[in-house]
Amino acid sequence: MADVHVAEELWSTGMLPEGILERWFVADGARVRAGEAVAAVRIGEALHDIAAPTGGHLTVLAPVNELVDPGCIIAEVHA
């Protein structure tokens, strides 16, 4: 199992405490490839794609419009 997390590096300044999970590109339970964009997170005015760290089946842990913090886990990928 591998965690899909929102990288802390996406917060270029410490001024924004959180982001918003804008949408999922793939459905819960879908098969994903390593590096495939699975979700989009909005931090301030910027929209960032979040990629799967490995291939497998995606288990969504956070719903759309959820507030996300730097480093938080939004999904898991199971082989």
**Beta bridge pairs of residue 5:** 73
Confidence of residue 16 (pLDDT cuts 50, 70, 90): low
Confidence of residue 14 (pLDDT cuts 50, 70, 90): low
Average pLDDT of the segment spanning 17-28: 94
Predicted pLDDT of residue 18: 85
Q: Give the Cα separation of 62 and 16 in Å (integer).
A: 20
Side chain identity at 61, as an amino acid letter?
L
* CATH code, domain carrying 29: 2.40.50.100
Q: In what order do the strands lie in the sheet with 46-51?
A: 46-51, 37-43, 19-24, 67-68
Domain that holds residue 72: 2-78
Q: How many domains does the chain have?
A: 1
